[in-house]
Chains A and B, each alone.
Chain A
Amino acid sequence: MTQKKIGLLLLLPALLMVLVLFLFPLGISMHAAFTDKQGVLTFEHFIKAQSLYSTDMMFTLFITLTASVLVCLCSLVLSGLMGLSESRFLVASLKWLYRWPLFIPFIVAAQCMRTFLAKNGLMNNSFVALGLYEPASSISFLDWRGIIITFVWKQTPFVTLMLAGAVASLDRSMIEAARNLGASRLRVMVEIIIPQVMPVLMVGLILSFVTMMSVLSVPMMVAGSQPTLLTVDMAFRINSYGDYPTANALGVISYCMTSLVAWFYLRQQMRDHAHQPM
């Protein structure tokens, strides 16, 4: 037997698992989304999905993109401070603090936020106790804001971890030269560090975006009512009506949203590779 054949044989069980438990259901979902009961190509499920859930489609894009932008900003600030600050206290305390949500499961994060962000939760209570506002004017954040806060809370450490690694492996001499020539830390960050860690940042953000598009527990537990994310709508179509065609049409729409983001990334990558060998 050739090495190629042995290799494929060793890979076979793992490949079969992906084929049967991922690619086959993916095919079924596409098939169900695009065909009617007789198996004829149709777009009626998409028209139905559009008429019922167009608000939620915009809502999903708005939530996931806003959360991604916020994750991007927060992780840049955190990794920049950890990489450039001269205050040992600041660097040490940030390093200790930022990782906490990293390995916390989404369902646990959702439960934490369900209590923390409530009208009578620890956040409002602490601000009232500090005298920042009156108890009567405290509001519940358990709606779209809660979903965004939970996503940012959960995903920022992940992207920061990747970014901090990239910043640490940069050539320090260029940064130090810029600092010696009088460049401010902000300028070093924007003009020297960010361009170099951009590929890592994009990978982290895309992985975060896909994760946010897949999570079911956070929108269900943190914000109950309408509008909501497409994941919840899919679960609802199945559990309440057994309506597979519409649910799968929504599924295809969520694939398209992630593919769009991935496509932007790939295009960016190719352009970068064309200009400079990496």
Chain B
Amino acid sequence: MTMLHLSTFSRRLLQGLGVGLLAFFLLGPLANLVLWSVAERWYTPFKLPVTYGTKYWEVVFRPTGDAMTSLTTSVGIALAVVVVTLIVSVPAGYALARLRLPFRAAIMLLFLLPQAFPSVAIYINVARIFYWIGLNGTVIGVVLVHSVHALVYSVWIAAAAFSSIDQDLEWAARNIGASPLKTFVSVTLPLAAPGLVAASIFVFLESLDEFTGTFFVGVPQVTTLPLLLYNASMGGNYQVASITALILLVPSIGFMLIIERFLKGDVLSKIGR
């Protein structure tokens, strides 16, 4: 009897220790980031910051500071990327979901390729082409690079969203005299909206967090938040780097919490099909 209790107890203890260790390795790096963002002075051999304060937050959020400019640039680029990808992927997704197409599987795969290839080698050549035609270091160039990389999310999710709609509803609208375009705008599009919103969120985040493409195509004129983070970190300014990282984290974690509301099971199960 006692032995059984002991073994239950020791099993609990072992589980607790395991979970604790996992939590330490998963959350420790994030805790370190938060600590650096409020550390005004922190140097060896001190295990924790010597003085705490929000001095660097004020530096970052000063309206005229680099960070605010980068934040505006980043959000502007991400919104433009959402618009560009929606414009091309709503028709593409509809065609893939509803119409009989030759080489459908190959076309679906084609949109995955930009994500499935080691991208650095592609970006250095995109930068070269953009240099020839004067798009290097411009916001338009960065928007184009981000868009093609994010296209797989928007096309695949849009196709899944359209194919999960009950086609009888569209036929009903056609039967009572609605034109194809009217049917699409007032029946199909609203029904696909949650999926399209999910696709847009994916695309927005992909663009917001993109580093490699901007590093080759955007420099030195276009400084997005990831580039600001990189420059601050390599320059040894861990406070500014950590605060920038936290700004990038907010939308990512917010997304993790709400994604299930927009990406329902019926759409999710059709992605990539």
Contacts and interface: CB of A to CB of B under 8 A. Distances in A.
Interface in B24-83: 24-33, 35-36, 44-45, 47-48
Interface in A21-45: 21-26, 28-29, 32
Interface of B: 15, 19, 22-33, 35-36, 44-45, 47-48, 87-89, 91-92, 94-96, 99-102, 107, 110-111, 113-129, 144-145, 147-148, 151, 155, 205, 208-209, 211-212, 215-216, 226, 229-230, 233-234, 238, 241-242, 245, 248-249, 252-253, 255-256
A129 interface: yes
Given A15-B107, A90-B19, A126 B28 contact: yes
Given A28-B129, A126-B28, A13 B91 contact: yes
B22 A221 contact: no
Nearest to B98: A7
A153 B27 CA distance: 10
A53 interface: no
A53 B114 CA distance: 25
Contact of B256 (A22, A29, A103, A248): A103
B122 A22 contact: yes
Interface in A4-20: 4, 6-8, 10-11, 13-15, 17-18
Contact of A153 (B29, B212, B253): B29
A235 interface: yes
Contacts of A121: 32
> Which of A29, A113, A262 neighbours the largest number of chain B CB atoms within 10 Å of its CB?
A29
Given A120-B45, A210-B118, A17 B151 contact: yes
Contact of A22 (B30, B107, B114, B233): B114
Contacts of A107: 209, 211, 226, 229-230, 245, 248
Chain A to chain B: the 4 pairs with minimum beta-carbon distance, closest first: A251-B121, A105-B209, A112-B29, A7-B99
Given A13-B91, A102-B256, A22 B113 contact: yes
Contacts of A87: 15
A125 interface: yes
B95 A29 contact: no
A199 B140 CA distance: 40
Contact of A255 (B33, B99, B118, B238): B118
Contacts of B26: 97-98, 100-101, 153
Contact of A129 (B47, B216, B245): B47
B118 A214 contact: yes
Given A22-B113, A105-B248, A255-B121, 17 more contacts: A8-B95, A10-B92, A11-B101, A21-B144, A23-B113, A25-B122, A28-B129, A97-B27, A98-B22, A105-B211, A126-B28, A210-B115, A210-B118, A216-B120, A217-B211, A231-B118, A254-B121
B25 A153 contact: yes
A103 B257 CA distance: 10
A129 B48 CA distance: 11
A258 interface: yes
A244 interface: yes
A122 interface: yes
A25 B129 contact: yes
A22 to B, nearest CB: 5
Given A6-B99, A18-B110, A28-B128, A248 B24 contact: no
Contacts of A181: none
A253 to B, nearest CB: 9
A262 B36 CA distance: 40
B189 to A, nearest CB: 14
A14 B99 contact: no
A2 to B, nearest CB: 9
Contacts of B96: 11
A63 interface: no
Interface in A214-249: 214-217, 220-221, 231, 234-235, 238, 244, 247-248
A159 interface: no
B121 A250 contact: yes
Contacts of B115: 210
Nearest to B202: A103
Contact of B120 (A26, A214, A252): A214
Contacts of B148: 17-18, 21-22
Given A116-B32, A120-B45, A29 B125 contact: yes
